[in-house]
Structure 1
Protein backbone atom coordinates (compact mmCIF):
# COMPACT_ATOMS: atom_id res chain seq x y z
CA UNK A 1 0.00 0.00 0.00
CA UNK A 2 1.10 3.53 -0.71
CA UNK A 3 1.13 5.98 2.15
CA UNK A 4 2.18 9.22 0.49
CA UNK A 5 0.37 11.95 -1.37
CA UNK A 6 1.26 10.13 -4.58
CA UNK A 7 -1.35 7.60 -3.52
CA UNK A 8 -3.82 10.43 -2.91
CA UNK A 9 -3.37 11.80 -6.41
CA UNK A 10 -4.00 8.33 -7.82
CA UNK A 11 -7.30 7.96 -6.03
CA UNK A 12 -9.07 10.29 -8.42
CA UNK A 13 -8.44 7.89 -11.27
CA UNK A 14 -9.38 4.97 -9.01
CA UNK A 15 -12.78 6.43 -8.17
CA UNK A 16 -13.38 7.52 -11.76
CA UNK A 17 -12.65 4.02 -13.01
CA UNK A 18 -15.13 2.60 -10.51
CA UNK A 19 -17.80 4.99 -11.72
CA UNK A 20 -17.66 3.82 -15.35
CA UNK A 21 -19.14 0.44 -16.36
CA UNK A 22 -16.46 -1.71 -17.99
CA UNK A 23 -18.47 -4.62 -19.41
CA UNK A 24 -20.52 -2.82 -22.10
CA UNK A 25 -21.19 -4.49 -25.42
CA UNK A 26 -19.49 -2.54 -28.17
CA UNK A 27 -22.51 -2.60 -30.44
CA UNK A 28 -25.15 -2.41 -27.74
CA UNK A 29 -26.87 0.57 -26.18
CA UNK A 30 -24.91 2.36 -23.50
CA UNK A 31 -26.74 3.09 -20.27
CA UNK A 32 -27.22 6.74 -19.41
CA UNK A 33 -24.74 7.89 -16.82
CA UNK A 34 -26.25 8.82 -13.47
CA UNK A 35 -25.59 12.50 -12.86
CA UNK A 36 -23.44 13.14 -9.83
CA UNK A 37 -25.01 16.52 -9.19
CA UNK A 38 -28.49 17.71 -10.06
CA UNK A 39 -28.87 20.72 -12.32
CA UNK A 40 -28.46 24.07 -10.66
CA UNK A 41 -31.68 25.48 -9.22
CA UNK A 42 -33.17 28.59 -10.73
CA UNK A 43 -33.26 30.38 -7.38
CA UNK A 44 -30.26 32.69 -7.27
CA UNK A 45 -27.88 32.73 -4.31
CA UNK A 46 -25.46 35.49 -3.47
CA UNK A 47 -22.55 33.08 -3.27
CA UNK A 48 -21.65 29.44 -2.77
CA UNK A 49 -21.15 30.10 0.92
CA UNK A 50 -24.55 31.78 1.11
CA UNK A 51 -26.18 28.78 -0.59
CA UNK A 52 -24.56 26.38 1.86
CA UNK A 53 -25.65 28.47 4.87
CA UNK A 54 -29.21 28.61 3.55
CA UNK A 55 -29.15 24.86 2.92
CA UNK A 56 -28.11 24.08 6.48
CA UNK A 57 -30.59 26.63 7.84
CA UNK A 58 -33.43 25.02 5.90
CA UNK A 59 -32.29 21.55 6.90
CA UNK A 60 -32.28 22.44 10.59
CA UNK A 61 -35.71 24.07 10.18
CA UNK A 62 -37.10 20.85 8.71
CA UNK A 63 -37.37 22.17 5.14
CA UNK A 64 -35.51 19.34 3.43
CA UNK A 65 -36.71 20.34 -0.05
CA UNK A 66 -35.29 23.81 0.36
CA UNK A 67 -32.14 22.35 1.90
CA UNK A 68 -31.51 20.06 -1.06
CA UNK A 69 -32.07 22.90 -3.54
CA UNK A 70 -29.54 25.15 -1.82
CA UNK A 71 -27.03 22.39 -1.12
CA UNK A 72 -27.15 21.20 -4.73
CA UNK A 73 -26.33 24.72 -5.87
CA UNK A 74 -23.30 24.79 -3.55
CA UNK A 75 -22.33 21.26 -4.59
CA UNK A 76 -22.27 22.20 -8.29
CA UNK A 77 -19.55 24.69 -7.31
CA UNK A 78 -17.55 21.95 -5.58
CA UNK A 79 -18.38 22.94 -1.99
CA UNK A 80 -17.00 20.06 0.08
CA UNK A 81 -19.43 20.18 2.98
CA UNK A 82 -22.42 20.51 0.64
CA UNK A 83 -21.29 17.43 -1.30
CA UNK A 84 -20.80 15.53 1.96
CA UNK A 85 -24.16 16.56 3.42
CA UNK A 86 -26.01 15.52 0.27
CA UNK A 87 -24.15 12.21 0.29
CA UNK A 88 -25.24 11.58 3.87
CA UNK A 89 -28.84 12.57 3.11
CA UNK A 90 -29.09 10.13 0.20
CA UNK A 91 -27.26 7.39 2.12
CA UNK A 92 -29.71 7.67 5.02
CA UNK A 93 -32.87 8.62 3.12
CA UNK A 94 -32.93 11.81 5.15
CA UNK A 95 -35.44 14.16 3.51
CA UNK A 96 -34.86 12.47 0.13
CA UNK A 97 -35.48 9.03 -1.26
CA UNK A 98 -32.76 6.64 -0.09
CA UNK A 99 -30.31 6.19 -2.97
CA UNK A 100 -26.92 4.61 -2.32
CA UNK A 101 -25.75 5.22 -5.87
CA UNK A 102 -26.34 8.96 -5.59
CA UNK A 103 -24.62 8.95 -2.21
CA UNK A 104 -21.69 7.06 -3.74
CA UNK A 105 -21.39 9.63 -6.52
CA UNK A 106 -21.42 12.60 -4.15
CA UNK A 107 -18.73 10.98 -2.00
CA UNK A 108 -16.78 10.05 -5.14
CA UNK A 109 -16.73 13.67 -6.23
CA UNK A 110 -15.19 14.64 -2.89
CA UNK A 111 -12.55 11.90 -3.21
CA UNK A 112 -11.82 12.86 -6.80
CA UNK A 113 -11.39 16.57 -6.11
CA UNK A 114 -10.06 16.73 -2.56
CA UNK A 115 -7.99 13.58 -1.95
CA UNK A 116 -4.92 15.70 -1.29
CA UNK A 117 -6.64 17.95 1.26
CA UNK A 118 -4.40 18.68 4.25
CA UNK A 119 -5.28 16.68 7.39
CA UNK A 120 -5.27 19.98 9.32
CA UNK A 121 -7.73 21.77 7.04
CA UNK A 122 -11.32 22.56 7.99
CA UNK A 123 -12.57 20.18 5.29
CA UNK A 124 -10.38 17.22 6.29
CA UNK A 125 -12.98 15.41 8.37
CA UNK A 126 -15.51 15.58 5.54
CA UNK A 127 -12.98 14.29 3.01
CA UNK A 128 -11.91 11.42 5.26
CA UNK A 129 -15.56 10.60 6.00
CA UNK A 130 -16.20 10.39 2.25
CA UNK A 131 -13.37 7.86 1.88
CA UNK A 132 -14.83 5.80 4.73
CA UNK A 133 -18.24 5.81 3.05
CA UNK A 134 -16.69 4.75 -0.25
CA UNK A 135 -14.86 1.96 1.54
CA UNK A 136 -18.16 0.67 2.84
CA UNK A 137 -19.75 0.78 -0.61
CA UNK A 138 -16.82 -1.05 -2.22
CA UNK A 139 -16.91 -3.62 0.56
CA UNK A 140 -20.51 -4.56 -0.19
CA UNK A 141 -21.20 -3.19 -3.67
CA UNK A 142 -24.46 -1.46 -4.58
CA UNK A 143 -27.12 -3.85 -5.85
CA UNK A 144 -28.43 -3.16 -9.35
CA UNK A 145 -25.70 -0.64 -10.15
CA UNK A 146 -22.24 -0.49 -11.70
CA UNK A 147 -20.65 -0.29 -8.24
CA UNK A 148 -19.52 -3.87 -7.69
CA UNK A 149 -17.96 -5.41 -4.62
CA UNK A 150 -14.22 -4.74 -4.67
CA UNK A 151 -12.48 -5.51 -1.39
CA UNK A 152 -9.10 -4.26 -2.62
CA UNK A 153 -10.55 -0.83 -3.27
CA UNK A 154 -12.32 -0.97 0.09
CA UNK A 155 -8.96 -1.60 1.77
CA UNK A 156 -7.42 1.33 -0.13
CA UNK A 157 -10.22 3.70 0.92
CA UNK A 158 -10.05 2.72 4.58
CA UNK A 159 -6.25 2.69 4.62
CA UNK A 160 -5.92 6.15 3.15
CA UNK A 161 -8.44 7.73 5.53
CA UNK A 162 -6.96 5.81 8.48
CA UNK A 163 -3.31 6.65 7.82
CA UNK A 164 -3.34 10.07 6.15
CA UNK A 165 -6.28 11.59 8.03
CA UNK A 166 -6.17 9.47 11.18
CA UNK A 167 -9.92 8.91 10.86
CA UNK A 168 -11.15 6.72 13.77
CA UNK A 169 -14.00 5.20 11.72
CA UNK A 170 -11.52 4.25 8.99
CA UNK A 171 -9.10 2.83 11.55
CA UNK A 172 -11.91 0.73 13.01
CA UNK A 173 -13.02 -0.42 9.56
CA UNK A 174 -9.47 -1.37 8.59
CA UNK A 175 -9.03 -3.27 11.85
CA UNK A 176 -12.17 -5.29 11.10
CA UNK A 177 -10.72 -6.27 7.73
CA UNK A 178 -7.52 -7.49 9.41
CA UNK A 179 -9.52 -9.39 12.03
CA UNK A 180 -11.57 -11.17 9.39
CA UNK A 181 -8.91 -11.45 6.66
CA UNK A 182 -10.97 -9.55 4.08
CA UNK A 183 -8.84 -8.00 1.34
CA UNK A 184 -5.76 -8.44 3.54
CA UNK A 185 -4.03 -11.30 5.28
CA UNK A 186 -5.66 -12.03 8.62
CA UNK A 187 -3.48 -10.39 11.27
CA UNK A 188 -4.60 -9.85 14.87
CA UNK A 189 -1.59 -7.67 15.69
CA UNK A 190 -2.33 -5.28 12.84
CA UNK A 191 -5.98 -5.28 13.88
CA UNK A 192 -5.02 -4.45 17.47
CA UNK A 193 -2.78 -1.62 16.26
CA UNK A 194 -5.56 0.05 14.28
CA UNK A 195 -8.13 -0.61 17.00
CA UNK A 196 -5.88 1.05 19.56
CA UNK A 197 -5.48 4.17 17.41
CA UNK A 198 -9.25 4.38 17.00
CA UNK A 199 -10.00 3.54 20.63
CA UNK A 200 -7.72 6.33 21.84
CA UNK A 201 -9.93 8.76 19.93
CA UNK A 202 -13.01 7.54 21.81
CA UNK A 203 -14.46 5.18 19.19
CA UNK A 204 -16.49 2.93 21.48
CA UNK A 205 -16.88 0.02 19.03
CA UNK A 206 -13.10 -0.03 18.57
CA UNK A 207 -12.68 0.10 22.35
CA UNK A 208 -14.96 -2.93 22.71
CA UNK A 209 -13.20 -5.01 20.07
CA UNK A 210 -9.76 -4.06 21.37
CA UNK A 211 -10.80 -4.92 24.92
CA UNK A 212 -12.13 -8.30 23.87
CA UNK A 213 -9.00 -9.03 21.83
CA UNK A 214 -6.74 -8.25 24.81
CA UNK A 215 -8.82 -10.30 27.22
CA UNK A 216 -8.80 -13.33 24.93
CA UNK A 217 -5.14 -12.90 23.97
CA UNK A 218 -6.14 -13.94 20.46
CA UNK A 219 -2.98 -13.36 18.40
CA UNK A 220 -1.79 -10.65 20.80
CA UNK A 221 -0.33 -10.80 24.33
CA UNK A 222 -3.13 -11.25 26.87
CA UNK A 223 -3.77 -8.14 28.98
CA UNK A 224 -6.88 -8.86 31.03
CA UNK A 225 -7.02 -5.68 33.11
CA UNK A 226 -6.32 -3.34 30.20
CA UNK A 227 -8.83 -5.21 28.06
CA UNK A 228 -11.46 -4.83 30.76
CA UNK A 229 -10.66 -1.12 30.93
CA UNK A 230 -11.39 -0.67 27.21
CA UNK A 231 -14.57 -2.72 27.47
CA UNK A 232 -15.75 -0.64 30.42
CA UNK A 233 -15.17 2.60 28.52
CA UNK A 234 -17.09 1.15 25.56
CA UNK A 235 -19.89 0.00 27.86
CA UNK A 236 -20.28 3.51 29.27
CA UNK A 237 -20.72 4.98 25.78
CA UNK A 238 -22.86 2.17 24.36
CA UNK A 239 -26.42 2.68 23.15
CA UNK A 240 -28.52 -0.06 24.80
CA UNK A 241 -30.55 -0.57 21.61
CA UNK A 242 -27.83 -0.37 18.97
CA UNK A 243 -24.84 -1.70 20.90
CA UNK A 244 -26.20 -4.73 22.72
CA UNK A 245 -23.14 -6.70 21.61
CA UNK A 246 -20.85 -4.31 23.48
CA UNK A 247 -22.87 -4.62 26.67
CA UNK A 248 -22.85 -8.41 26.35
CA UNK A 249 -19.05 -8.52 25.82
CA UNK A 250 -18.46 -6.25 28.82
CA UNK A 251 -20.80 -8.08 31.18
CA UNK A 252 -19.29 -11.45 30.27
CA UNK A 253 -15.73 -10.18 30.70
CA UNK A 254 -16.50 -8.41 33.97
CA UNK A 255 -18.15 -11.52 35.45
CA UNK A 256 -15.13 -13.66 34.55
CA UNK A 257 -12.47 -11.15 35.69
CA UNK A 258 -10.56 -11.51 38.93
CA UNK A 259 -10.87 -8.83 41.59
CA UNK A 260 -7.30 -7.75 40.95
CA UNK A 261 -8.02 -7.28 37.24
CA UNK A 262 -11.15 -5.28 38.08
CA UNK A 263 -9.19 -2.96 40.36
CA UNK A 264 -6.38 -2.57 37.83
CA UNK A 265 -8.91 -1.85 35.09
CA UNK A 266 -10.44 0.89 37.24
CA UNK A 267 -7.01 2.45 37.77
CA UNK A 268 -6.25 2.30 34.03
CA UNK A 269 -9.60 3.89 33.25
CA UNK A 270 -9.00 6.75 35.69
CA UNK A 271 -5.63 7.40 34.04
CA UNK A 272 -7.20 7.37 30.59
CA UNK A 273 -10.00 9.75 31.59
CA UNK A 274 -7.57 12.08 33.33
CA UNK A 275 -5.35 12.19 30.24
CA UNK A 276 -8.24 12.79 27.85
CA UNK A 277 -10.32 15.14 29.97
Structure 2
Protein backbone atom coordinates (compact mmCIF):
# COMPACT_ATOMS: atom_id res chain seq x y z
CA UNK A 1 0.00 0.00 0.00
CA UNK A 2 2.76 2.46 0.91
CA UNK A 3 4.54 2.22 -2.44
CA UNK A 4 1.31 2.66 -4.37
CA UNK A 5 0.53 5.94 -2.68
CA UNK A 6 4.15 7.07 -3.00
CA UNK A 7 4.03 6.25 -6.68
CA UNK A 8 0.85 8.23 -7.13
CA UNK A 9 2.29 11.22 -5.29
CA UNK A 10 5.38 11.25 -7.49
CA UNK A 11 3.37 10.90 -10.67
CA UNK A 12 0.99 13.69 -9.83
CA UNK A 13 3.66 16.03 -8.53
CA UNK A 14 5.68 15.73 -11.72
CA UNK A 15 3.17 15.22 -14.51
CA UNK A 16 0.29 17.65 -14.28
CA UNK A 17 -1.98 14.60 -14.34
CA UNK A 18 -3.56 15.24 -10.97
CA UNK A 19 -6.83 16.90 -11.87
CA UNK A 20 -8.63 14.10 -10.04
CA UNK A 21 -6.24 12.75 -7.45
CA UNK A 22 -4.67 9.55 -8.83
CA UNK A 23 -6.18 9.38 -12.26
CA UNK A 24 -5.05 10.47 -15.71
CA UNK A 25 -7.71 12.46 -17.55
CA UNK A 26 -9.84 10.56 -20.06
CA UNK A 27 -9.25 10.37 -23.76
CA UNK A 28 -12.10 9.75 -26.21
CA UNK A 29 -12.88 6.21 -24.98
CA UNK A 30 -16.37 6.00 -23.51
CA UNK A 31 -15.33 3.64 -20.71
CA UNK A 32 -12.31 5.74 -19.76
CA UNK A 33 -14.59 8.77 -19.54
CA UNK A 34 -17.13 6.81 -17.50
CA UNK A 35 -14.37 5.53 -15.22
CA UNK A 36 -13.03 9.04 -14.76
CA UNK A 37 -16.49 10.36 -13.87
CA UNK A 38 -17.10 7.47 -11.47
CA UNK A 39 -13.77 8.06 -9.77
CA UNK A 40 -14.50 11.75 -9.33
CA UNK A 41 -17.85 10.77 -7.81
CA UNK A 42 -15.95 8.54 -5.33
CA UNK A 43 -17.37 5.36 -6.86
CA UNK A 44 -14.04 3.59 -7.18
CA UNK A 45 -15.51 0.13 -7.78
CA UNK A 46 -17.42 1.38 -10.82
CA UNK A 47 -14.32 3.21 -12.01
CA UNK A 48 -12.35 -0.04 -11.87
CA UNK A 49 -15.04 -1.83 -13.88
CA UNK A 50 -15.01 0.78 -16.63
CA UNK A 51 -11.24 1.02 -16.73
CA UNK A 52 -10.98 -2.75 -17.00
CA UNK A 53 -13.27 -2.78 -20.04
CA UNK A 54 -11.20 -0.13 -21.79
CA UNK A 55 -7.93 -1.73 -20.69
CA UNK A 56 -9.01 -4.99 -22.32
CA UNK A 57 -9.34 -3.00 -25.56
CA UNK A 58 -5.70 -1.88 -25.21
CA UNK A 59 -6.49 1.66 -24.09
CA UNK A 60 -3.24 2.72 -22.45
CA UNK A 61 -4.80 5.44 -20.25
CA UNK A 62 -7.26 2.90 -18.85
CA UNK A 63 -4.45 0.41 -18.33
CA UNK A 64 -2.48 2.95 -16.35
CA UNK A 65 -5.42 4.07 -14.22
CA UNK A 66 -6.41 0.46 -13.56
CA UNK A 67 -2.84 -0.39 -12.59
CA UNK A 68 -2.71 2.45 -10.07
CA UNK A 69 -5.98 1.32 -8.49
CA UNK A 70 -4.86 -2.31 -8.31
CA UNK A 71 -1.56 -1.33 -6.72
CA UNK A 72 -3.34 0.88 -4.18
CA UNK A 73 -6.21 -1.53 -3.53
CA UNK A 74 -8.64 1.25 -4.40
CA UNK A 75 -12.09 0.15 -5.53
CA UNK A 76 -10.87 -3.44 -5.57
CA UNK A 77 -8.69 -5.84 -3.62
CA UNK A 78 -5.04 -4.88 -3.89
CA UNK A 79 -3.40 -7.03 -6.55
CA UNK A 80 0.21 -5.95 -7.17
CA UNK A 81 0.86 -8.73 -9.69
CA UNK A 82 -2.03 -7.63 -11.92
CA UNK A 83 -1.24 -3.98 -11.26
CA UNK A 84 2.31 -4.37 -12.52
CA UNK A 85 1.02 -6.34 -15.50
CA UNK A 86 -1.33 -3.57 -16.57
CA UNK A 87 1.33 -0.98 -15.91
CA UNK A 88 3.71 -2.85 -18.19
CA UNK A 89 1.11 -3.12 -20.95
CA UNK A 90 0.49 0.63 -20.79
CA UNK A 91 4.23 1.31 -20.78
CA UNK A 92 4.78 -0.95 -23.78
CA UNK A 93 2.12 1.06 -25.63
CA UNK A 94 4.27 4.14 -25.07
CA UNK A 95 2.42 5.85 -22.21
CA UNK A 96 5.05 8.03 -20.52
CA UNK A 97 3.46 8.03 -17.06
CA UNK A 98 3.40 4.23 -17.09
CA UNK A 99 6.97 4.02 -18.34
CA UNK A 100 8.18 6.23 -15.52
CA UNK A 101 6.09 4.38 -12.93
CA UNK A 102 7.41 1.01 -14.06
CA UNK A 103 10.95 2.34 -13.96
CA UNK A 104 10.35 3.58 -10.44
CA UNK A 105 9.18 0.14 -9.32
CA UNK A 106 12.31 -1.43 -10.80
CA UNK A 107 14.52 1.23 -9.22
CA UNK A 108 13.02 0.50 -5.79
CA UNK A 109 12.44 -3.23 -6.20
CA UNK A 110 8.76 -2.90 -5.34
CA UNK A 111 6.55 -5.73 -6.69
CA UNK A 112 9.29 -6.61 -9.21
CA UNK A 113 12.84 -7.89 -8.93
CA UNK A 114 15.00 -4.84 -8.44
CA UNK A 115 16.89 -3.94 -11.61
CA UNK A 116 18.67 -0.66 -12.18
CA UNK A 117 19.14 -1.62 -15.84
CA UNK A 118 15.36 -1.90 -16.28
CA UNK A 119 14.79 1.29 -14.31
CA UNK A 120 17.17 3.23 -16.51
CA UNK A 121 15.67 1.80 -19.70
CA UNK A 122 12.12 2.76 -18.73
CA UNK A 123 13.14 6.18 -17.43
CA UNK A 124 14.80 6.83 -20.79
CA UNK A 125 11.68 5.93 -22.76
CA UNK A 126 9.60 8.38 -20.73
CA UNK A 127 12.32 11.04 -20.62
CA UNK A 128 12.53 11.03 -24.40
CA UNK A 129 8.84 11.99 -24.39
CA UNK A 130 9.75 15.02 -22.23
CA UNK A 131 8.24 13.49 -19.09
CA UNK A 132 9.80 15.63 -16.38
CA UNK A 133 10.02 13.12 -13.54
CA UNK A 134 11.65 10.59 -15.84
CA UNK A 135 14.22 13.14 -17.00
CA UNK A 136 15.20 13.73 -13.37
CA UNK A 137 15.24 9.98 -12.72
CA UNK A 138 17.38 9.26 -15.76
CA UNK A 139 19.80 12.07 -14.92
CA UNK A 140 20.18 10.68 -11.42
CA UNK A 141 20.82 7.17 -12.74
CA UNK A 142 23.67 8.51 -14.88
CA UNK A 143 24.98 10.67 -12.04
CA UNK A 144 25.12 7.69 -9.67
CA UNK A 145 26.12 5.12 -12.29
CA UNK A 146 23.03 3.00 -11.70
CA UNK A 147 21.82 0.90 -14.62
CA UNK A 148 24.42 2.57 -16.83
CA UNK A 149 28.07 3.58 -16.50
CA UNK A 150 28.50 6.82 -14.56
CA UNK A 151 28.32 9.58 -17.15
CA UNK A 152 28.30 13.21 -16.00
CA UNK A 153 27.79 14.44 -19.55
CA UNK A 154 24.56 12.46 -19.88
CA UNK A 155 23.52 13.44 -16.35
CA UNK A 156 24.05 17.10 -17.20
CA UNK A 157 22.07 16.80 -20.41
CA UNK A 158 19.02 15.37 -18.67
CA UNK A 159 19.20 17.64 -15.62
CA UNK A 160 19.32 20.61 -17.97
CA UNK A 161 16.29 19.38 -19.91
CA UNK A 162 14.40 18.96 -16.64
CA UNK A 163 15.51 22.41 -15.48
CA UNK A 164 14.27 23.90 -18.74
CA UNK A 165 10.86 22.40 -17.94
CA UNK A 166 10.84 24.24 -14.62
CA UNK A 167 12.27 21.73 -12.14
CA UNK A 168 14.02 23.88 -9.54
CA UNK A 169 16.10 21.09 -8.00
CA UNK A 170 17.44 20.20 -11.44
CA UNK A 171 18.16 23.87 -12.09
CA UNK A 172 20.33 23.98 -8.97
CA UNK A 173 22.16 20.79 -9.94
CA UNK A 174 22.91 21.84 -13.52
CA UNK A 175 24.00 25.25 -12.24
CA UNK A 176 26.58 23.53 -10.06
CA UNK A 177 27.74 21.50 -13.06
CA UNK A 178 28.30 24.68 -15.07
CA UNK A 179 30.03 26.35 -12.14
CA UNK A 180 32.47 23.47 -11.68
CA UNK A 181 32.75 22.36 -15.31
CA UNK A 182 31.45 18.87 -14.53
CA UNK A 183 29.83 17.14 -17.50
CA UNK A 184 29.74 20.47 -19.34
CA UNK A 185 32.20 23.17 -20.24
CA UNK A 186 32.61 25.59 -17.33
CA UNK A 187 30.33 28.56 -17.90
CA UNK A 188 29.69 31.02 -15.06
CA UNK A 189 26.99 32.81 -17.05
CA UNK A 190 25.00 29.59 -17.47
CA UNK A 191 25.64 28.73 -13.82
CA UNK A 192 24.28 32.10 -12.74
CA UNK A 193 21.26 31.67 -15.02
CA UNK A 194 20.27 28.31 -13.55
CA UNK A 195 21.02 29.33 -9.97
CA UNK A 196 18.69 32.26 -10.62
CA UNK A 197 16.01 29.88 -11.88
CA UNK A 198 16.35 27.80 -8.72
CA UNK A 199 16.39 30.89 -6.52
CA UNK A 200 13.16 32.13 -8.06
CA UNK A 201 11.53 29.05 -6.55
CA UNK A 202 12.72 30.05 -3.09
CA UNK A 203 15.68 27.69 -2.74
CA UNK A 204 17.83 29.38 -0.03
CA UNK A 205 21.10 27.81 -1.19
CA UNK A 206 20.45 29.04 -4.72
CA UNK A 207 19.83 32.58 -3.48
CA UNK A 208 23.26 32.56 -1.87
CA UNK A 209 24.87 31.11 -4.99
CA UNK A 210 23.35 33.85 -7.16
CA UNK A 211 25.06 36.45 -4.99
CA UNK A 212 28.31 34.51 -5.06
CA UNK A 213 28.26 34.02 -8.85
CA UNK A 214 27.81 37.74 -9.53
CA UNK A 215 31.42 38.23 -8.53
CA UNK A 216 32.57 35.65 -11.08
CA UNK A 217 30.70 37.05 -14.08
CA UNK A 218 32.54 39.09 -16.74
CA UNK A 219 32.20 42.82 -16.23
Same fold by TM-score greater than 0.5: yes
Query: By how many angstroms is 1:213 displaced?
Result: 2.1
Instruction: Report the counterpart of residue 86 of structure 1 in structure 2.
Output: 66
Distance 1:93 1:228, change over 3 A: farther
Task: State which drifts further: 191-200 or 212-221.
Answer: 212-221
Instruction: Report the counterpart of residue 115 of structure 2 in structure 1.
Output: 150
Instruction: Report the counterpart of residue 137 of structure 1 in structure 2.
Output: 105
Aligned partner (choices 62, 68, 86) of residue 42 of structure 2 = 62
| Contact persistence 1:208–1:230 (CA under 8 A) | yes
Structure 1 length as normaliser, TM-score? 0.59
CA distance in 1, matches of 2:207, 2:151: 26
1:231-270 map, 5 Å: 231-237=195-201, 247-258=203-214, 261=217
- Mind listing any 5+ residue stretches in structure 2 that lack a counterpart? 1-27
Query: By how many angstroms is 1:81 displaced?
Result: 1.0
Aligned partner (choices 58, 66, 74) of residue 54 of structure 2 = 74
- Mind listing any 5+ residue stretches in structure 1 that lack a counterpart? 1-47, 116-126, 239-246, 265-277
Q: Secondary structure at the match of 1:65?
A: helix
| Count of residues in correspondence between the two structures | 192
CA distance in 1, matches of 2:172, 2:65: 29
Query: By how many angstroms is 1:55 displaced?
Result: 0.9
CA distance in 2, matches of 1:259, 1:177: 33
CA distance in 2, matches of 1:219, 1:78: 41
Q: Secondary structure at the match of 2:29?
A: helix
CA distance in 2, matches of 1:227, 1:94: 45
Is 1:222 the equivalent of 2:204?
no
Greater gyration radius = 1
CA distance in 1, matches of 2:208, 2:79: 39
Query: By how many angstroms is 1:90 displaced?
Result: 4.5
What CA deviation, in whole Å up to 9, does each residue of 1:40-95 have, x standing for no partner?
A: xxxxxxxx922211111122223323222222222222221111122334556666
Instruction: Report the counterpart of residue 201 of structure 1 in structure 2.
Output: 165
CA distance in 2, matches of 1:70, 1:260: 59
